[in-house]
Structure 1
Amino acid sequence: MDNINTNKTTLCPSARPEIADSVVFGLITGTVTEPSVAYLKQPIPVTDELMAKASPVTPTEIFRTAAACAAKGCQHFDSKDCRLAVQIVEKLPAVTEKLPPCSIRRDCRWWQQEGKAACMRCPQVITDNYNPSELIHQVGTPKAN
């Protein structure tokens, strides 16, 4: 399990689990109105068996997954930066006072780009949030390049 998908790969911490070589690095906890991410000590490879265990909900309702950053292939990328990370740092309040114990940090696009400020907001980011606040909805909506 060492070095799962982390050998010199920049990881998107909000990737879809269907992407090749994706890993689960957190579990969604908290409430419907205030979800939070509980970080795993080690990332777990996404498998068909793991995704089946998520049923009847979607995997991204209960897992935070990471995969290789798609860069220019992503709707949030502006040819240089991840605009989602920028929006998260600019608009969301910090939800922790210390760095969460994240197993993908050294390879994380958000960490590399925005540093500690992104990490302090990351626990409130849910990939498929079907009950987002207006602010979360605004932050997650891709901006036209």
Structure 2
Amino acid sequence: MEEISTKNTTLCPSARPEFRETVVFGVISGTVGEPRVTYLKHPQPITDELVAKASPATPTEVFRMATSCVTTACLHFDGQDCRLAKQIAEKLSAVTQELPPCSIRRDCRWWQQEGKTACMRCPQVVTDVYNPSGLAITISKLAAG
């Protein structure tokens, strides 16, 4: 498979498939209550074929995706930082003791902003959660400002 170049781009690790140049960097495993990301060795472009493989679930329930951070065009961006990354780092418990083998880390907004703290929590993050816990709702509200 083709390796995606992410040089000189800050990436949002909570992207949606409809954004231009979106890549899949992980697959959601685990359970609904305790999801875990299995990281891909190399990010892969989101394609119609991958979207179809997610069915009947949505792609954001099955894949973790990244795309260029849109900064001020995002409701989570406060003008300087990603509030979502901050809330994840502050409110979620770490789910790993070692840095996950993430292929987008060097370009990841969350890594650049929150460092290891965000990475230790990232494996439990699912972009779309349809039955969120109270904590997930709180983080979402706080991150939206």
Which bracket does the TM-score occupy, shorter chain normalised?
Answer: over 0.9
Native 8 Å contact 1:111 1:119 kept in 2: yes
Q: CA RMSD in A?
A: 1.0
Q: What is the letter of the counterpart of residue 18 of structure 2? A: E
1:143 aligned onto 2:136: no
Whole-angstrom distance in 2 between the partners of 1:93 and 1:124: 9
Q: How many residues of Structure 1 are paired with residues of Structure 2 in the alignment?
A: 143
Q: Deviations over 1:108-143 (max 9, x none)?
A: 000001100000000111001112211012112333
1:137 and 1:43 map into 2 onto residues whose CA distance is 29
TM-score, scaled relative to structure 2: 0.95
CA distance in 2, matches of 1:105, 1:70: 17
Question: Per-residue deviation at 1:5?
Answer: 4.3
Q: TM-score scaled to structure 1, two decimals?
A: 0.95
Gaps of 5+ in 2: none
Equivalent-residue separation in structure 2 for 1:136 and 1:39 (angstroms): 22
SS of 1:43's equivalent? Answer: strand
The reply to whether residue 111 of structure 1 matches residue 111 of structure 2 is yes
Question: Runs (4+) of structure 1 moved beyond 2 Å?
Answer: 140-144
Q: Report the equivalent of 1:22.
A: 22
The Cα of 1:33 is off from its aligned counterpart by 0.8
Residue identity matched to 1:98: E
Partners in 2 of 1:66 and 1:35 — Cα distance?
Answer: 18
Are the equivalent residues in 2 in contact too, given 1:30–1:36 (CA < 8 A)?
yes
Does structure 1 residue 62 correspond to structure 2 residue 58?
A: no
CA distance in 2, matches of 1:51, 1:7: 25
Q: Deviations over 1:50-94 (max 9, x none)?
A: 111111110000000000001000000000000000000111111
CA contact (8 A) 1:5 1:67 kept: no
| Whole-angstrom CA distance in 2 between matches of 1:29 and 1:49 | 19
Per-residue CA shift, 1:36-59, capped at 9, x if unaligned?
Answer: 111111111001121111111100
Identity in percent = 66
Secondary structure of 2:55 counterpart: coil
What CA distance in whole angstroms lies between the structure 1 residues aligned with 2:62 and 2:15? 13
1:74-113 counterparts in 2 under 5 A? 74-113=74-113
Question: What amino acid is aligned across from residue 38 of structure 1 in structure 2?
Answer: T
Amino acid at match of 1:90: E
